[in-house]
Amino acid sequence: MIIDVLLPLNLSKCFSYKVPNGLAIKIGDFVEVPFLNKKYIGVVWNNKVKLNEKIKYKIIYKKLPIPSLKKEILKFIEEFSLYNLQPIGLVFKLFLYKTGLKSVDKGLKKILCFKEYKINKVKDVDYNSEQIKAIKNIKNKLNKNIFNVFLLHGVTGSGKTLVYMDIVKDLLKQNKQILILLPEKALSNQISRRFEEFLQAKCAIWHSGIKDKIKKKIWKGILENKIQIVLGARSSMFLPFQNLGLVVIDEEHDSSYKQEEGLIYNARDMMILMASILKFPVILATATPTIETYYNASINKYNHILISKRYKNKKFPEIKKIKINKNEMSKNKYISDETLIYTKKFLDKQKQVLFFLNRRGFSTYVICYNCNRRFVCPNCNIGLVFHKIEKKLKCHYCDFECNVNRSCTNGKNCELKFYGIGVEKLFDEIKELFPEKKIIFLSSDVSVEDELNSRIKKIEKNEVDIIVATQLISKGFNFPDLNCIVVVNSDNIFFGSDIRSTEKNYQLLHQLSGRAGRFEDNALVILQSYENNNKLVNALSNEDIFKFYKEELNFRKKAYLPPYSKLISFIISGNNKFTVERNSIMIKKLIPKNDYLKIYGPVSAPISKIKSNFRSRILIKYSTKIRPQKLLKETIEKMKNFKNIKVEIDVDPINFM
């Protein structure tokens, strides 16, 4: 018997093997096979291969004693590969948790007890009328064996988590498995504590920070259907669920669901694709849907479940715009006197205040006073950012870092001037303004997970007075005593002028303001701005939550942008600028011409050099009526003949840098 085996390699084809006599093999079985003098675990893709007498087939070593992949999963792997234009072998690799598979014969047999994950009793919850209505609307259309997508569109603080918890509760009684996808691993600890209180059992958490010993146990528990509920990052969608009945994608708008390095894909979109093939429902939970998700709900492709009021009818925070006069602000001062008056009132009432700035580091622009040379990354054409805590200059696009000492043209060390504000500089200013207060710093630069979780718990317990933070703070956290938020520079939350920058800015501002006043009225969000008429600030102040979406959709329709069209981006890179430019032009000529397809570029990328590689971009815009991936597959095969360049393909890009 001859079979085709798909291997977890950067390849788009299978390899044929001979099955030993007496070994029963079917499609989807995991097998260990020889390939180029190594052993690999592959999956049986086809078991009806015609024997070719001229070929000397290698023999498979063994079949792994674990459940085979369902035919629907194999179809998903194929569709995933085609849609994202990625090698099918690398897509299959996503489903292989190597540590688990390697210990199938030994270590996994020792893992027998999963009692800490067993759900015995579910806590009663007091729902309000809107939550009850939302739960009924979902349950009326929910069928465990039918694909359906629900947009759970609840304003910040409306209790969306409680709503989908109730849905989860019913499915657990039916012995179904449930996956809760979360955008940030930092968020998983807070959400898991809420679930553990609700279910009175331990939750399985899956992300890159979980130790292998725990992961092996979770992997086996899911494989044997002894673990019913998992909270995880995007990689958790590839776990070996045997009876998946529901997926909840929390904060569905979050860009963290997009994998932008290596194998590029959007976990939210691929999860919906998987659900359509395996036939189970998906709940997209957010206060600020992506434009595409909102559009799909508006045309009834998704079920739109709206919760317009906060839990227990708490009021939304007041939005106050404070105009900053540059002449009034000194060199090292970024908080206005008017802002201080308001924040002191909240601090006097023992309420927490958050100062928000979405820029890491201390100073974003470092230059020498004498030679006027800026500190620039040698690998990327961007300036280095000074991080005062570590006393280093860092590039935020590669791993380069250096100290601040540099020889000047006068033979001495450069005399440095620091321009631009980062969150560390803001932290220093806040400490000077409030020396007697307990102040905590939150940023992705806090790389130790235990330290980050410790700081979040201190905020939850009201053990700090002031929080100084970056975008990390906006990711769905629930802080009971946070009642005042100051957006230090609401004019420059994101840099960039791509088609999604307005959407990203609105989502961040809206999500951020939603952290305030979740348990108490009279909360305040202060937006410091240099502009009199800031479109996004005005949108945030508007009580009509649909107004922004209607205006943005109207603009997108006129400009023929997503969701009214779709995009595919080719990023060509290499260490020789001329080679990149020449090959980019040649690649464009390979792309098939079509009336429904427009090709833009090649042009130098906005950040034209990253990690010593020059970068060029080609953008393909196409009608939603067609699916050009099959046409482009031939182009991609031809691109493999180009030397000294790398081509990354990004379907439905959200980043245009």
Q: Round to whole Å and give the CA distance between 66 and 73.
A: 15
The pTM of the full predicted model, rounded to 2 decimals, is 0.90
How many Cα atoms within 13 Å fall on the side-chain side of residue 98? 4
Residue intervals in the chain for CATH 3.30.70.600: 565-651
Outline where DSSP puts E strands in 55-176.
58-59, 62-63, 148-154
CATH superfamily, with its number, for domain 565-651: Ribosomal protein S10 (3.30.70.600)
Please report the pLDDT score of residue 476 as a whole number: 64
- Give SS3 for 536: helix
Nearest Cα neighbor of 99 from 263, 212, 199 is: 212
- In whole angstroms, what is the distance from residue 320 CA to residue 325 CA? 16
Residues 202 and 218: beta-carbon distance below 8 Å: no
| Amino acid 219: pLDDT | 92
DSSP structural state of residue 287: S
**pLDDT at res. 522:** 84
Q: What is the CATH number of domain 110-311?
A: 3.40.50.300
Q: Where exactly does CATH 3.40.50.300 map onto the chain?
A: 110-311, 314-359+421-555
* pLDDT of 447: 55
Q: What is the pLDDT of residue 209?
A: 84
Count Cα neighbours of 329 within 13 Å in the Cβ-side half-sphere: 18
- The pLDDT score that the predictor gives to residue 537 is 67
* Alpha-carbon distances, residue 372 vs 332, 367, 408 (angstroms): 21, 6, 10
pLDDT, tens digit, for every residue of 43-72? Answer: 999 998 888 888 899 999 999 999 999 999
Residue 300 CB partners (closer than 8 Å, separation 6+): none
Q: How far apart are CA 31 and CA 29, in angstroms?
A: 6
CATH 3.40.50.300 fits 314-359+421-555, yes or no: yes
Read off the DSSP letter of residue 472. Answer: G
Position 191, amino acid? I
C-alpha 534/C-alpha 500 separation (Å) is: 17
Q: Give 485's strand partners.
A: 354, 525
Asked if 188 and 256 touch (Cβ cutoff 8 Å), the reply is: no
Structure tokens at 249: 């994608």
Location of structure tokens 């906060």:
310
440 token code pair: 């905590």
Closest C-alpha to 289, from 55, 610, 546, 622: 546
Q: Please tell me whether the peptide bond between 563 and the residue prior to it is cis, using omega within 30 degrees of 0.
A: yes
Question: Would you state the pLDDT for residue 541?
Answer: 65
Q: List Cβ neighbours of 506 (8 Å cut-off, separation of 6 or more).
A: 288, 536, 539, 540, 548
pLDDT digits (tens, 9 = 90+) for 479-511: 888 899 998 887 765 545 578 888 888 888 888
CA gap 38, 489 in Å, rounded: 55
Residues whose CB is less than 8 angstroms from the CB of residue 250 and which lie 6 or more positions away in sequence, other chains included: 160, 161, 164, 180, 181, 182, 183, 187, 191, 285, 286, 476
Give me the residues of the chain with pLDDT under 50, please.
495
CATH fold of the domain at 2-70: GIY-YIG endonuclease (3.40.1440)
Tokens, residue 3: 């079979």
Cβ-in-10-Å burial (0-12, 13-18, 19+) of 27 comes to middle
